[in-house]
Amino acid sequence: MVSKRVRDDSASSSQRKRPRANTRAGSILKVYVKNFMTYKECTIEPGPRLNLVLGANGTGKSSFVCALCVGLNGSTKLLGRADNVKEFIRRGQSEAVTDIVIASEDPARPHQVQRRMKLDSNSSEWRVDGRPSNGSDVKALVSKYNIQLDNLCQFLPQDKVVEFAKLKPQELLIATEKALGDAHLHKMHTELVEVRNNMKNNKNTLDNLTQQLHELRQANQALERDVQRLRERERLMDEITIREKKKPWLKHDAFHREYKEKKHGLPQLKREAEALRQEVEAEERPRREAQNWKDETSRKVTTLRQKLQSLESRRAAIDEDIEREGNSIEEIRSGIEGLAMESDERLRKIEASRSKLIGLRARLEQLPQVPENPRDQALTSETSELDMQMRNVDEDVLDLERNLATLRRQLDETDGKISKLDDHKRRKVAQLDNRFPGLLKVWEWLQDNAGRFFGKVWGPVITEISVEDEGMASFLEMQVPPRVWAYLITEHASDQKLLIQQCQSLLGPRNPIVVTNYAGNPNQPLNYPRGRAADYQEYGIIATLDEVLQETPSIIKHVLNDEASITSAFVARAELQSRYFEFLESNPNVSCLYMPDTKVSVITSRYNRAARSQEVVGIRPCRFLRDMGSETEREQLVQRRSELQANISDITHKISRLNQDKGKIMETLSVKHAEIQKIREARRRAAEQRRHANAALRTEERNLSSLEALPDPSEREATMREELEGRCRVLAAKVSDYLTAIREGAAAIRALAAAELAAAEAVAIVNNLQAQSSRKREELRAAEGRLAAATAEAKEMKEATKRAKDAANRLAPFPDDAEERAVFKQRLSSVSDDVDVLDQEIDDLTAQANRIACSNPGAVEEYAERQRRIKDLEAKERNEHTTVEEAKRRIASLKEQWLPELKELVAKINDKFSVNFAEIGFAGEVFLKEDDDFDKYEIQIKVKFRAEEQLNVLTASRQSGGERSVCTILYLIALQGVTYCPFRVVDEINQGMDPTNERKVFKQLVECACRPDTPQCFLLTPKLLPNLPFSEDVKVLNIFNGPWLGDVPKPFAFEDLFGSRA
């Protein structure tokens, strides 16, 4: 890489002779770099107003911007190019130097900031004004002159241009405030936000303190009553205690008195019991004699009753015998009368049976014999053959079904393998879906609706790629833009239209999915404009990137080549890494080279085809192409699935045909069986008729034999008459016994009545004596019971008295001290001696104590502790209230200073911005959106580029790239006259503009940047339109770079260029 040179050219030769204009403190006077990025050594001296930095792409314009940022200790992240400072050191060098001279308040003593960057240690050495220093000192110097490298309104590198449109309205307001020289508006704004947030926190704290104080005061108010009631409760509990102590002694006294009373009445009870015992003994003898007589009469009555019961049983039995004999005699008489009728009936039945036999024999002779049909045997043989055919068909169907089950199992396994490969694809599509939302949804729709298209729909492209080598996959990902991986490719224009409509239906009109229709011949060989890999094999070239895609469909290769020139990207072995420079110099056709750790791209200037530069970057790990299954394997599986489906369909048809044949055989069998059934049914009916006739004949023969075997009923008449006479004699004897039993029963009833009368008299006498004796005995038992109870009670009272005394000594012992004992007795005597009264008083006192009971025994301690906390919180509450009021006053004061000035600033910007937009034929405005929260204040830019549109807020998605560039530069131009930053940098802002807008914007930029007392401005661009308006304050800095740098400047005369304009 040769040295870069910056040529200092002005708009005319007279400008170079004019004295330098006054410069603003903090503006750039000179920039010196050595071994920085692509610079070997270079010095740049910009002018105080507008500096146009010109140069082809890749010559180092943005490197100048990087030098400003890095040399003034700006963050490398602001540039979007590298993370570490060491990456700005020129390849092959161990250190780099930047030396920047900035103007100070004293024109004779500018500041010099030098930074020396070390590659090995990734560190920097700083010198400020020739003295060793550090990064903090540099930041302090930069801050002193309001150099804001992180403010897109002041420092807009090439890679950050698009981010200006992405600024949120709040961020745009902050950036605008910072650009005001001393940034006092931003400081006041920041202070307002901070004070308001602090005030919110203080108000929350104040509310919490007020709530805590309220709760503590309420709690102590409750405790005040508890403290008073606690003392009253203690007094009541003491009164309850003295009464409780007296109760056991009262109980002892009551037991003692009752014991004496019980003991005093025992002798009298003994005397009364003895007297009653003697009276009972004197009355006992007459009662026993009367009882004996009563028992004897009772036994006699019992005996007579038993005898009468026996006689009654005998009479009832005789009565039953008489009735039974009478029934038997009646039956015999009836039987004798019916013998003649039975004899006639027997003869009639015999004649009827003989007549029926004759008829049955005649009917049997008339019935035909069972027919023999030869057709039956023939049909049986035919059905056997048909059964054999149907079994053969069933065996064939069973074999086919087994084969069908095997094929279906193989089909399921194949579908599972295809699903696994599709899952790989789905993961890749899902990964791309994060960058192109909706891609996964469209892909899933394609899987379900592939049949709706005339031809095959390919894509997303990443699903059609299969690369086993991870290194090659990384090369492909670096070569192919990410958007290409998401392409959907059709082979017919109608399919493209249908798919675009479906994408809009699924994702809306602004969906990010690209659908392209490939109209070429995919089978045509790829074009290799820079030669094949074999042409450079001797240098270590092993392949072009298209050769990596061995199993990729040809249409995908063609699309990738059209979008990413994969046939022009060469893959080399690692040994070429040390000599790739010589290889590229000797082979100018090669412009892209991939090595295991490095990608080298050759960049040719679009203005000078001979100017070439090399861009060397590291290889990034692959993200999308990892873990992909083989597309060939999937195609084989799909082909295998089709074969299996065809075999399954064939076997299914065979089974269907066999089932049809089986149905025909079954129909034939059904006809044969019906005919056999008809023949056999006729034989069965004939045999059934003869069997029934024979059975009826045999039954009737048995019936006739049984009738003829029966004796003649008239032969039994004599026997029955003899039996009748015997029964009559037995009946007469039974009647005589019945009369005797009646007479004996009457005598027994008379004797029983006399015995019962005597027994009743005995019972009356015994009851009378018993009543007299019972009263005396009852009196004796009562007296003995009273004596026993009194004795037991006296004993119990004695023991109870002892227990009561022990309990009283345990529960309420008298003190040993005489004085205390006297006081205790006096307190006991002061209360009632009635236990009921004491219980009532205890209940009343307990009720009073319970009514004033305090659930918090430590109420007094809690009360004192809360009082202390209340005092502390009251002090804090006063402090917080004071802080909140001071914050309100501070907010009001700051707002009175900040808001009017901010409104005035925004109004000025809006006026200038609106005028600038109107001059180029569009409409735009800048306005301040206010809010209650200061951190929600916004500066919104609204623009309109078409007559039929409304003013729309500038966003990164609504306007085009050129429209955003116009808005950005016009806003910066509007800031030029109202802000006080020392310099402003804008890199390639005009690249997205059309020529008309670029010419209009450039005119405004020159007019604005060249006014007196405006910031120094740097505009970097690779080209400018011809015949642009210039001013004497415009300084042109041309950057030249390339292999032929030494030859280019010699014949070039800048005066000739401007002389032609004269």
Residue 503's CB is within 10 A of a number of other CB atoms, namely: 22
Question: Among candidates 750, 764, 772, 751, which has minimal Cα distance to 294?
Answer: 764
Report yes or no on 227 lying in a domain.
yes
* Contact status, residue 593 vs residue 542, Cβ threshold 8 Å: no
Q: What is the rounded distance in angstroms from the CA atom of residue 278 to the CA atom of residue 776?
A: 10
What 8-state DSSP symbol labels residue 539?
Answer: G
* Helix (H/G/I), strand (E/B), else coil: 245: helix
pLDDT at 183 over 60: yes
Are 865 and 1000 in a shared domain?
Answer: no
Are 66 and 16 in a shared domain?
Answer: yes
Residue ending a domain, choose from 627, 645, 660:
627
Are 843 and 929 in a shared domain?
Answer: no
Q: What is the rounded distance in angstroms from the CA atom of residue 148 to the CA atom of residue 686?
A: 126
Amino acid at 372: E
1027-1047 mean pLDDT: 71
Report yes or no on 143 lying in a domain.
yes
Are 972 and 1029 in a shared domain?
Answer: yes
Domain count for the chain, please give it.
3
Are 941 and 1033 in a shared domain?
Answer: yes
* Contact status, residue 36 vs residue 96, Cβ threshold 8 Å: yes
Are 138 and 102 in a shared domain?
Answer: yes
Are 934 and 892 in a shared domain?
Answer: no
Report yes or no on 602 lying in a domain.
yes
Residue 7 has phi, psi (to 5 degrees) of -100, 130
pLDDT digits (tens, 9 = 90+) for 87-105: 888 888 889 999 999 998 8
Are 609 and 482 in a shared domain?
Answer: yes
Mean pLDDT is highest, among 53-67, 325-339, 970-984, for: 53-67
The alpha carbon of 986 is separated from its chain's Cα centroid by a whole number of angstroms, namely 49
Q: What is the rounded distance in angstroms from the CA atom of residue 707 to the CA atom of residue 704?
A: 5
On the CB side of 701, CA atoms within 13 Å amount to 8
Residue ending a domain, choose from 864, 897, 930:
897
* Contact status, residue 479 vs residue 564, Cβ threshold 8 Å: yes
Question: Among candidates 978, 1037, 985, 990, which has minimal Cα distance to 1016?
Answer: 985
pLDDT digits (tens, 9 = 90+) for 562-612: 998 999 999 999 888 888 888 888 888 888 999 988 889 888 766 566 667
Are 502 and 616 in a shared domain?
Answer: yes
pLDDT digits (tens, 9 = 90+) for 911-951: 887 877 777 778 888 888 888 788 888 888 888 888 778 88
* Contact status, residue 546 vs residue 560, Cβ threshold 8 Å: yes
* Contact status, residue 949 vs residue 32, Cβ threshold 8 Å: no
pLDDT at 96 (0 to 100): 93
Domain that holds residue 619: 467-627
pLDDT digits (tens, 9 = 90+) for 706-745: 777 777 666 666 777 777 777 787 777 877 777 887 877 7
pLDDT at 7 over 60: no
Report yes or no on 484 lying in a domain.
yes
Cβ within 8 Å of residue 266, ≥6 positions away? 787, 790, 791, 794
pLDDT at 14 (0 to 100): 35
> Of 524 and 952, which is predicted with more confidence?
524
* Buried-state track 131-154, b at ≥16 Cβ within 10 A, e below 16: eebeeebbeebbeebbbbbebbbb
Edge-to-edge strands of the sheet including 923-929?
923-929, 938-944, 952-953
**Can you give the CATH number for the domain in which 96 is found?**
3.40.50.300
Six token digits for residue 860: 């007094």
Q: Regarding beta strands 488-490 and 938-944, do their DSSP bridges make them parallel or antiparallel, or are they unpaired?
A: unpaired
Residue 824's CB is within 10 A of a number of other CB atoms, namely: 17
Residue 946's CB is within 10 A of a number of other CB atoms, namely: 8
Are 863 and 979 in a shared domain?
Answer: no
pLDDT digits (tens, 9 = 90+) for 742-760: 877 777 787 777 777 777 7
pLDDT at 558 over 80: yes
627-641 mean pLDDT: 65
Per 3-state DSSP, the chain is made up of helix, strand and coil in percentages (nearest 5) of: 65, 10, 25
Residue 973's CB is within 10 A of a number of other CB atoms, namely: 22
Report yes or no on 991 lying in a domain.
yes
Write out the DSSP string of 718-762. Answer: HHHHHHHHHHHHHHHHHHHHHHHHHHHHHHHHHHHHHHHHHHHHH
**Rounded mean pLDDT of the chain?**
78
Residue 1053 has phi, psi (to 5 degrees) of -125, 115
To the nearest whole percent, how much of the chain has pLDDT over 70? Answer: 84
Report yes or no on 234 lying in a domain.
yes
With both helix axes pointing from N to C terminus, report the angle between 631-709 and 374-433 in degrees, rounded to the nearest 10: 150
123-130 mean pLDDT: 89
Are 212 and 169 in a shared domain?
Answer: no
pLDDT at 113 over 90: yes
Question: Among candidates 95, 153, 151, which has minimal Cα distance to 120?
Answer: 95
To the nearest whole percent, how much of the chain has pLDDT over 90? Answer: 4
Report yes or no on 1052 lying in a domain.
yes
64-69 mean pLDDT: 86
Are 169 and 59 in a shared domain?
Answer: yes
The alpha carbon of 871 is separated from its chain's Cα centroid by a whole number of angstroms, namely 50
pLDDT at 2 (0 to 100): 36
Question: Among candidates 31, 28, 22, which has minimal Cα distance to 4?
Answer: 31
Amino acid at 867: Q
Residue ending a domain, choose from 603, 627, 651:
627
Q: What is the rounded distance in angstroms from the CA atom of residue 54 to the CA atom of residue 59?
A: 9
pTM above 0.85, yes or no: no
What 8-state DSSP symbol labels residue 86?
Answer: G
pLDDT at 3 (0 to 100): 42
pLDDT at 1048 over 70: no
Indicate the length of the chain as a whole number: 1062
pLDDT digits (tens, 9 = 90+) for 866-912: 778 888 888 888 898 888 888 888 888 888 888 888 888 888 888 88
Helix (H) or strand (E) holding 494: helix 493-507
